[in-house]
């Protein structure tokens, strides 16, 4: 499928009337087979301290790839894909139970926002008013605050679109939540396609001007969590990156990657130059094709398994984070201890601190406008 057709498909997925499976079929009612499929693909995962039910949903395709998602934080808890020999492994970091997700963790697999990444000094000015946000990363604001989108229970609908399984999550973020203006209506649609793509489509509208930058914060390890990601090979289609200070806040400069350890314009091992980057990679890359058109942001390849992941997006940036703050204190699925560099994030996004950087691409959503973007993770082997 070419990129134009794929993007048209993403748009149609977001804009079609959303039908719960109980009301879905071409003839006006769900078949018993359809009902059984969706009933077996949803199960109770646990309860929040407030007693809210959290469910886990399993999407699968004919090739045997599966994605499990919970409606707490929109977290992708597992993603199983085959290696070159047909052996399936779970390639994302996370936990076996809800309790660990409810505890402190580094946003494993979650939807982050309202504003993904950092906002300097936890404040911004809009319409002549200064808005104060939670300072949850030193003096700065990170990933939406102390209780961002990653810590909310979302409403859900299971749907079929063109015969492929999808899950739609919705959440209304009220005016003033975490300090942000506007009642913000959000939706996230997950679709697992027959072409081995996990498509995550984000949509939103607001009744007041508000900054918005939502992203999926998956930690990938294409070995299935058996080794660190330093031997993974990575390509990022970006000639520039957002330079940051010691607090990882953009300076406003967009230097070229050429001739620096930031250069991933050709495939190279993640660990080759990482010691030359203070603290490891935690930087936004300025994608060459800009914003709006669907583009390949990155390619991630793991030589021993042959797994290849292509990341496509309509956003102008992608954040490379190499799990620098993982330190062995967290035990994840199947008893795996997550050491430093045990996962790698490729977060499709707008640039960090854009509300305070007037020459960065605009991130203000206005009333009457619609926020729509997509992240696509496509899997193959070589």
Residues belonging to the active site: 217, 347
> How deeply is 103 buried, as exposed, middle or buried, from its count of CB atoms within 10 A (0-12, 13-18, 19+)?
exposed
- Cα dihedral angle (298, 354, 104, 226), rounded to 10 degrees? 10
Cα–Cα nearest to 181, from 128, 111, 120: 128
In whole angstroms, give the CA distance from residue 153 to residue 157.
13
Report which DSSP code applies to 233: E
The DSSP-derived string for 82-139 is: E-TTS-EEE-B---SSHHHHHS--S-TTEEE-SB-SEEGGGEEEETTEEEE----BTT
Hey, is 208 helix, strand or coil?
coil
The DSSP-derived string for 165-203 is: EEEEEEEEE-TTGGG--S-EEEEEEEEE-TTSEEEEEEE
For residue 97, what are its two tokens? 């139970």
Hey, is 370 helix, strand or coil?
coil
Torsion sign (Cα): 101, 103, 108, 111 = positive
Interior angle at CA 144, CA 290 and CA 370, nearest 5: 50
For residue 245, give Cα distances in angstroms to 140, 157, 273, 285, 334: 12, 42, 19, 15, 37
Cα–Cα nearest to 131, from 364, 296, 302, 367: 364
């Amino acid at each position: 499928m070419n990129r134009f057709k794929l993007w048209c498909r993403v748009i149609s997925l977001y804009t079609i009337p959303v039908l719960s499976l109980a009301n879905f079929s071409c003839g006006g009612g769900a078949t018993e087979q359809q009902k059984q499929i969706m009933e077996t693909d949803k199960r109770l995962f646990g309860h929040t301290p407030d007693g809210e039910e959290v469910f886990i949903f399993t999407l699968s395709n004919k090739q045997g790839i599966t994605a499990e998602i919970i409606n707490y934080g929109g977290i992708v808890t597992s993603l199983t894909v085959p290696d070159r020999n047909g052996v399936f492994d779970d390639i994302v970091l996370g936990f076996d139970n809800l309790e660990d997700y409810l505890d402190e963790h580094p946003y494993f697999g979650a939807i982050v926002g309202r504003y993904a990444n950092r906002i300097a000094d936890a404040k911004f000015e809009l319409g002549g008013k200064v808005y104060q946000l939670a300072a949850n990363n030193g003096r700065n604001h990170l990933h939406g605050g102390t209780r961002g989108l990653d810590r909310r229970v979302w409403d859900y609908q299971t749907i079929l679109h063109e015969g492929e399984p999808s899950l739609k999550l919705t959440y209304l973020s009220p005016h003033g939540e975490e300090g942000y203006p506007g009642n913000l209506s959000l939706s996230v649609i997950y679709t697992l396609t027959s072409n081995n793509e996990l498509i995550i489509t984000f949509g939103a509208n607001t009744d007041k001007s508000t900054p918005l930058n939502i992203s999926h914060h998956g930690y990938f390890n294409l070995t299935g969590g058996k080794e660190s990601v330093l031997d993974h090979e990575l390509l990022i289609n970006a000639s520039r990156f957002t330079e940051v200070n010691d607090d990882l806040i953009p300076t406003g400069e967009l230097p070229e990657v050429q001739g620096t350890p930031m250069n991933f314009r050709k495939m190279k091992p993640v660990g080759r130059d990482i010691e030359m980057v203070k603290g490891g990679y935690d930087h936004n890359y300025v994608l060459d094709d800009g914003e709006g058109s669907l583009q390949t942001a990155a390619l991630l390849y793991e030589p021993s398994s042959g797994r290849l992941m292509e990341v496509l997006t309509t956003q102008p940036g992608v954040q490379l984070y190499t799990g620098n703050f993982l330190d062995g204190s967290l035990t994840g699925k199947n008893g795996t201890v997550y050491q430093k560099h045990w996962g790698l994030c490729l977060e499709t996004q707008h640039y960090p601190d854009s509300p305070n950087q007037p020459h960065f691409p605009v991130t203000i959503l206005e009333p009457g406008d619609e926020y729509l973007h997509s992240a696509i993770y496509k899997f193959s082997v070589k």
